[in-house]
């Protein structure tokens, strides 16, 4: 199997946003390296300093189009200073990397388990998902924040909208946790294919409907909405996402850097009663309940 490898030059302040966006667009792996031979000395505990000039390298399945990836990044306000790509032949390290991937727990019940390992908790909610074969596996803080929120929610009989679904991991988790129906939407057709395959692997495909944004059913309202995208689009789409929520609907937003939290909160306060912001590393989750009217 061949792979597409992209290299994008950016800055320290934008590197995390590029990483999150590339993972949501289907990257099997993303790494950050020094773009200007700048040393980073021993950091204080709990910190992760980056280089002023950072190169973000992403590995995709060979059927991804680098031009479409570039366009999708630009739609999210992410413009690389430079970008180039090459094709790589399959290597033994890819299998070794997958073999190192262990089951992960989110909240009290939910586990993400790769297909080649046994579920550590047979009484838990086990979502089957292989790294390298899907858009996002829960390893990034933004996905983890949403999965933990879903695990702590009562989803019985609910309709859930996963806006910017990527791999469908949030929609699938919601269904396994008791939701009656889930809808996933994403600007990338490959994401919808990945979501459908992952839903089938978890036995919930009949309860998941998938749409490009322009094909979403109208009118439409849900009981629960999760959107793990980026702060800029979340602000721009606040009115649309609010319209998808009926009074009493619950909302969880992530893909937001800590310093961006206030601007996102301000965009949603006209419609939602928001709880205190939840933080994990550099990233946050904002959640709340849709008010009447």
Give the Cα separation of 1 and 232 in Å (integer). 35
Q: Along the chain (293 residues), what's the average pLDDT of each consecutive run of 10 residues?
A: 86 87 89 56 40 81 91 91 83 55 85 83 86 52 92 96 92 97 92 91 96 93 95 94 97 93 97 96 94 82
Angle subtended at Cα 49 by Cα 58 and Cα 169, rounded to the nearest 5 degrees: 40
Question: Can you give the pLDDT at residue 53?
Answer: 74
| Torsional class of 21: left (φ above 0), alpha (ψ -120 to 50), beta (otherwise) | alpha
Give the Cα separation of 226 and 36 in Å (integer). 38
The residue written with tokens 């008010």 in the block is 291
| Torsional class of 236: left (φ above 0), alpha (ψ -120 to 50), beta (otherwise) | alpha
Do residues 128 and 202 lie in contact, with contact meaning Cβ atoms separated by under 8 Å? yes
Do residues 191 and 21 lie in contact, with contact meaning Cβ atoms separated by under 8 Å? no
The partner residues of 185 in beta bridges, in order of sequence, read 163, 211
Which residues touch 228 (CB under 8 Å, ≥6 apart)?
Answer: 24, 136, 142, 143, 146, 164, 166, 170, 253, 254, 255
- Of 163, 154, 201, nearest to 182 by C-alpha is 163
Q: For the packed helices 189-201 and 169-176, what is the interaxial angle rounded to 10 degrees?
A: 30
- Of 174, 187, 91, 172, nearest to 134 by C-alpha is 172
């Amino acid at each position: 199997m061949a792979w597409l490898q992209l290299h994008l030059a950016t800055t320290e302040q934008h590197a995390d946003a590029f990483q999150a966006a590339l993972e949501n667009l289907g990257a099997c792996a993303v790494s950050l390296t020094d773009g200007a031979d700048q040393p980073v000395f021993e950091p204080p505990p709990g910190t992760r300093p980056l280089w002023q000039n950072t190169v973000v390298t992403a590995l995709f399945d060979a059927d991804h189009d680098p031009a479409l990836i570039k366009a999708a990044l630009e739609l999210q306000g992410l413009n690389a200073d430079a970008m180039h790509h090459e094709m790589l032949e399959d290597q033994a390290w890819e299998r070794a990397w997958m073999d190192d991937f262990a089951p992960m727990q989110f909240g009290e019940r939910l586990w993400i388990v790769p297909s080649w390992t046994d579920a550590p908790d047979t009484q838990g909610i086990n979502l089957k998902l292989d790294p390298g074969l899907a858009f996002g596996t829960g390893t990034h803080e933004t996905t983890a924040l949403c999965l933990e929120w879903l695990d702590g929610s009562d989803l019985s009989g609910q309709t859930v909208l996963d806006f910017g679904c990527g791999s469908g991991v949030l929609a699938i988790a919601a269904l396994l946790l008791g939701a009656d129906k889930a809808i996933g939407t994403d600007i990338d057709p490959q994401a919808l294919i990945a979501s459908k395959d992952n839903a089938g692997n978890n036995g919930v495909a009949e309860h998941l409907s998938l749409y490009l944004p322009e094909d979403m059913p109208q009118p439409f309202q849900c009981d629960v909405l999760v959107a793990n995208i980026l702060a800029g689009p979340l602000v721009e789409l606040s009115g649309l996402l609010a319209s998808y929520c009926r009074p009493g609907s619950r909302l969880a937003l992530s893909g937001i850097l800590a310093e961006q939290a206030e601007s996102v909160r301000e965009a949603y306060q006209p419609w939602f009663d928001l709880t205190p912001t939840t933080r994990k590393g550099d990233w946050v989750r904002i959640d709340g309940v849709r008010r009447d009217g």
